[in-house]
Chain A
């Protein structure tokens, strides 16, 4: 798994590890991202980790393309030898069904699973955040149990409420902001995956894991109030 470097205009390059979605490739991406965070390279202005590559923005007046490739290549060569990194899991409360997850009945029809089964299967997995994109804090999650697969809605909603948790095909995710979308909504979280007024605006980062836990509607309201006055923080676990 050696890295390949592609030009992406005069102030960015792509460092790519392969052409598939896998935890192993994404792990290499995370290693490089973490290495650049720990020991920044002068001239890099921004790093966008994705499924199997990183888009690296740089200032050519500070570091040349060739020199940057050389430095990044050094990181990736070391990468394989680095021992297994710790795993960060962010626990996110979700009120499933009802007004919060209007499509859970539809998912139940499609999958043949009871609503209780949907909730227990959906909240049992530690989902890898492959990358963030589409919306600020929108996680591209891997690892959803195939039994939950449900096609997108034929008529996408013009507005999905902030915090909605949905299923779209083989994927699950959270809408951090109100947005149009075609995913089937199964629940909603009272926490804000993205809040510009927090010192750390995002709850999770690419390479972290998300685990959902079911709450009832009363708890939803209680946590929502705590979130609004700034007294709630998600439990994070490092293993």
Chain B
């Protein structure tokens, strides 16, 4: 069965590694904001690292399990409890039918992940479980989760043996300002030396206006040579856009695929999880990185996750190739099926 949600927090969505192959059509990538925490949660419960999971923002979800399950919570410290007793994060946990999960406001970090063994019983839309709120597709009925939602699990009889050893070190909350590395380009030539120095010299604060589309910063304005308007082109993940105000916006998972502001630099892939954990009011500084440094850090990240997946192995076998390739799936039919399930 699954989990009946009683308190969902400000924004909780189903995410996976993101929707690839459709950006050329204007389809944003979506996917978990903190890929590392998301991958670890899945690996701990025995899933493929990119299985569907719940991403929670600022406040973790609360709910009642309607079946036994193996879960793991990673990312922001939302002080998870089962039946009123605190449970460790970054560790696989056995829960029983009727158990109540309660999470609170994040003591540190911004986004937490809840993975369940086997993943959630949902259908991929255009190759992905990720919720795309703008288009109303993917995830759970194409929208953020609400109180009262009942999410089903794929596994009805979780493998609970020896799960107490499935745990990793809990990351230490960062000291502020957090250092975020970025590679110059593609449009750094639109900015003055002073503008570039301002970006890499000053301290920036995450504003309230930040979400899965972009993280808007307040701090020193970045000076351009002759304005920041470009002929709209592609926006990579982590692009640091400079709008007319000169205040940087870091483009995140739900960013538009194309846009008309110059991009002075791009945050390195390995530091995107750090960014995903910043709350409004948190501070950061930018440090310039070479492409080589950035890719070395990226390779290290892949190796660490692969090593973790190898260490713990998978309790849930990979789906048959045909099922995994189901690709474009009609969302309507599953929605209707789910609605019927509720009523019946």
Q: Is the CB of B25 within 8 A of A132?
A: yes
> B236 at interface (Cβ–Cβ under 8 A)?
yes
- A11 near B298 with CB under 8 A, answer yes
Name A199-235 residues within 8 Å CB distance of B.
199, 201-202, 205-206
Given contacts A9-B236, A132-B257, A133-B232, 12 further A-B contacts (CB under 8 A): A7-B291, A8-B234, A8-B263, A9-B237, A12-B266, A50-B234, A55-B233, A60-B298, A135-B135, A138-B26, A196-B137, A205-B25
Stretch at the interface among B38-46, B199-207, B326-334: B326-334
The residue of chain A having its C-beta at the shortest distance from the C-beta of B327 within the complex is A199
Asked whether, in the complex, the Cβ of A7 is within 8 Å of the Cβ of B183, the reply is: yes
Q: Report yes or no: A57 in contact with B185, Cβ–Cβ below 8 A.
A: no
Q: Which residues of B contact A140 (CB under 8 A)?
A: 232
Q: Across the interface, do B256 and A134 meet the contact criterion of CB distance under 8 Å?
A: yes
Q: Are A132 and B24 in contact (CB under 8 A)?
A: yes
Name the CB-closest residue of B to A18. B231
CA distance A140 to B135 in the complex (A): 19
Contact B234 A48 (CB under 8 A): yes
Chain A residue with the shortest CB-CB distance to B291: A7
Sort A-B residue pairs by CB-CB distance and give the 9 closest, nearest first: A55-B234, A9-B266, A133-B258, A6-B186, A10-B294, A197-B330, A48-B234, A12-B236, A7-B185
A53 at the interface (CB under 8 A from B): yes
Tell me, yes or no, whether A177 is within 8 Å of chain B by CB. yes
Do A201 and B328 contact each other (CB < 8 Å), given the known contacts A9-B268, A46-B21?
yes
Cβ of A136 and Cβ of B22 under 8 Å apart? yes
Bound-complex Cα distance A136 to B132 (A): 11
Residues of B close to A158: CB separation below 8 A: none
The answer to the question of A2 belonging to the interface, with a C-beta cut-off of 8 Å to chain B, is no
A27 to chain B minimum Cβ distance, whole angstroms, is 15
Interface residues of chain A, those whose CB is within 8 Å of chain B, are: 6-12, 14, 16, 19-21, 33, 45-55, 57, 60-61, 65, 131-138, 140, 177, 194, 196-199, 201-202, 205-206
Could you jot down 26 A-B contacts, CB within 8 Å?
A7-B185, A8-B185, A9-B183, A9-B236, A9-B237, A9-B239, A9-B268, A10-B266, A12-B234, A14-B185, A46-B24, A47-B24, A50-B233, A50-B258, A51-B231, A52-B233, A53-B234, A55-B234, A61-B298, A131-B258, A133-B257, A135-B135, A177-B134, A194-B135, A197-B332, A205-B24
Would you call B295 an interface residue if the criterion is a C-beta within 8 Å of the partner chain's C-beta atoms? yes
In the complex, whether B238 has a CB less than 8 A from a CB of chain A is yes
Measured between beta carbons, the chain A residues less than 8 angstroms from B24 are 33, 46-49, 132, 205-206
Which residues in B have their C-beta under 8 angstroms from that of A54? 234
Contact of B125 among A6, A53, A196, A206 (CB under 8 A): A196
* A10-B298 CB under 8 A given contacts A47-B24, A205-B24: yes
Asked whether A21 lies within 8 Å of B258 as measured between CB atoms, the reply is: no
